[in-house]
Structure 1
Amino acid sequence: MSTGRRLVRVVAIGVLPAVLAFAAVYALRSGDGDGDGGSGSDRARPARTAATGGPPAPAGASGQPAGSTGPAGAVELAATLSGTAYSTELTFEVPEARARVSPPEWVRDCVRFAVWARDNGGVPVGPEPVHTLTLRARRSVDVQVAAVRAVPVAQVDRAGEQGPWVELACRDGVASPAASPPGRWRGGGMPHPLAAGQTLEVPVELDGLDESGGPVDPFPGGVSDYRLRVELEVDGVPQTYDLRDGDRDFRCCGRITYMGYQAARYEWTLAPARALRYCAELRYTGKPPPRTCGPRAPA
């Protein structure tokens, strides 16, 4: 064999494996793209940012953690207004003309009634609101509620709305538990172990202390819009959530009944048949007299 042929054979044997290896690596990297010329490393960058403690999205109705240093995404959290410290019944302060309007057909129980009333400007009556937290685990996790506080957003100017103001309530057509305050959390307790996909509902009162441990009144007077700041421990790691009432802020606290005066009251029964009952207002000195209530035709 000539010297030239031996040289070509040596070059082919030494170079060909390297060329084939390079082609295989290139093909694998091209197949990992997203179809528009981007590489797999570009697609993975957001995941790496989240895993290394990048800033999480602010919380809203979605219930994602805001300002959290914990394992983001382990728990979904939402909150609803479910009563006051004195009653599970939700009563609303509304103009009288609005109280006589029949709810739409989709309002078939008192839970939907409360949503409809708030959507139409009803202000929950009574101090010390109680909220129900709904926690849903995305994986197996231990969750503990550490604190729930109201964060005022704005005072509500209602001077332009027309009264007279009345109370608006709902009756399910069965015995009401309104006289029994709801079971609720007021701090402490053991962690709740949740399996993946499991949901837990926890009624909570607002924490009466600010972050420095001093007493605070989040609703000093009048009507206020507010959000809930919920502090959790998820697998022992602190997380903070800022929650709204669906796509709006929470609102508190209507008050139209005082010593010597009880506002007129409209009560809707939705099942088994829809009906409206009216209770006249009371003005008195000393012990309040019995109320006079009777059926009323809707507007």
Structure 2
Amino acid sequence: MSAGRRLVRVVAIGVLPAVLAFAAVYALRSGDSDSDSGGDRAGAGRATASGGAPPAPAGAGGQPAASAGPAGAVELAATLSGTAYSTELTFEVPEARARVSPPEWVRDCGRFAAWARDNGGVPVGVEPVHTLTLRARRSVDVQVTAVRAVPVARVDRAGEQGPQVELACRDGRASPAASPPGRWRGGDMPHPLAAGQTLEVPVELDGLDEAGTPVDPFPGGVSDYRLRVELEVDGVPQTYDLRDGDRDFRCCGRITYMGYQAARYEWTLAPARALRYCAELRYTGEPPPRTCGPRAPA
């Protein structure tokens, strides 16, 4: 064998193991690098799910999605519960409708109110009060910062037949109607809720728009509206647009004025169902006493 060939063989024998070792080390380091990148991505995902990133996007109707972060910590609903002057719900309806007995499933004044709204009854009285029901999905601090009415549409009532009267409910027990419900303003500190805890709070509508300008959401006539509720959940602002179940809220029936009070129908549902009728009043000066008595349902 020539000297040149012996040199090539020596070089191949000496270099080949080094090349193989370098390739193995490079492959191991590449795998470690990919693993580290995946760990970083997983860590970023955990930070997002735990609320380290901005809250989840708003869902249908403007209500925050309940999938992650502060937006999913609280379930919120609202019901109309009275006015600033009374916890009693009274409705404006055509007289023929007021004399119709509610169906059998209407056995308390809460269901009566839902039935009246389903049948076109318009809540009577300005300054409506709503009860917010907040349910915590986890331990959380909640503060209500603003509740506003957002008008949706004017209600055309020109086609309704017959005189309009007031319709109310009595459940056979002492009524708290003489005590206004007041307003829960949230205070300077958030309200702590444990996981699964439910809180009910009556709230009046704020008389300011988002810019702080005084506004009357119901300047005249009847309007459908939604509630825009602003909360702070663990210090993070959240906004909910709420409806009255599967329909919009409605306001405001105004059929009693100075010198006139509309006729009134009052249903008692328990312990026995009965109808009471109070005749309309027309007067000058001080209103005279109302004359009320039993009335046969239609």
| Cα deviation digits, residues 114-168 of structure 1 (max 9, x gap) | 0110011000000000000000000000000000000010110000111200000
Q: Aligned pair in 2 of structure 1 residues 233, 289: CA closer, same or farther (>3 Å)?
A: same
Q: Aligned pair in 2 of structure 1 residues 3, 183: CA closer, same or farther (>3 Å)?
A: farther
Q: Aligned pair in 2 of structure 1 residues 31, 147: CA closer, same or farther (>3 Å)?
A: farther
Q: Aligned pair in 2 of structure 1 residues 172, 215: CA closer, same or farther (>3 Å)?
A: same
CA contact (8 A) 1:70 1:234 kept: no
CA contact (8 A) 1:137 1:195 kept: yes
Partner secondary structure for residue 35 of structure 1: helix
CA shift at 1:71, angstroms?
A: 1.6
| Cα deviation digits, residues 220-264 of structure 1 (max 9, x gap) | 100000000000000011000000000000000000001111000
CA contact (8 A) 2:56 2:69 kept: no
CA shift at 1:186, angstroms?
A: 3.9
Partner secondary structure for residue 114 of structure 1: helix
Counterpart check, 1:2 vs 2:22: no
Partner secondary structure for residue 111 of structure 2: helix
Using the TM superposition, name which of 204-213 and 45-54 deviates more.
45-54
Partner secondary structure for residue 158 of structure 2: coil
Q: Aligned pair in 2 of structure 1 residues 287, 237: CA closer, same or farther (>3 Å)?
A: same
Where does residue 201 of structure 1 map in the other structure?
200
Q: Percent identity?
A: 92
Q: Aligned pair in 2 of structure 1 residues 290, 142: CA closer, same or farther (>3 Å)?
A: same
CA shift at 1:33, angstroms?
A: 25
Using the TM superposition, name which of 22-31 and 257-266 deviates more.
22-31
Provide structure 1 residue ranges, at least 5 long, that are not aligned to the other structure: none
CA contact (8 A) 1:61 1:243 kept: no
Q: Aligned pair in 2 of structure 1 residues 3, 201: CA closer, same or farther (>3 Å)?
A: farther
Q: Aligned partners of 1:152, 1:120: CA distance in 2, in Å?
A: 21
Q: Aligned partners of 1:120, 1:22: CA distance in 2, in Å?
A: 83
CA contact (8 A) 2:267 2:273 kept: yes
CA shift at 1:179, angstroms?
A: 1.3
Computing the radius of gyration over CA atoms, which structure comes out larger, 1 or 2?
2
Q: Aligned partners of 2:143, 2:2: CA distance in 1, in Å?
A: 83
RMSD of the TM alignment (CA)?
Answer: 6.5
Q: TM-score normalized by structure 1?
A: 0.80
Higher percent of residues as helix: 2
Q: Aligned pair in 2 of structure 1 residues 233, 2: CA closer, same or farther (>3 Å)?
A: farther
Provide structure 2 residue ranges, at least 5 long, that are not aligned to the other structure: none
CA contact (8 A) 1:62 1:78 kept: no
| Cα deviation digits, residues 31-71 of structure 1 (max 9, x gap) | 999999xx999999999898499998887899942799962
Partner secondary structure for residue 240 of structure 1: strand
Q: Aligned partners of 1:216, 1:16: CA distance in 2, in Å?
A: 86
CA contact (8 A) 2:145 2:185 kept: no
Q: Aligned pair in 2 of structure 1 residues 33, 215: CA closer, same or farther (>3 Å)?
A: farther
| Cα deviation digits, residues 179-231 of structure 1 (max 9, x gap) | 11013224644211000000000100001111111101100100000000000
Paired residues, what number?
Answer: 297
Using the TM superposition, name which of 250-259 and 27-36 deviates more.
27-36
Q: Aligned partners of 1:14, 1:106: CA distance in 2, in Å?
A: 95
Q: Aligned partners of 1:270, 1:29: CA distance in 2, in Å?
A: 79
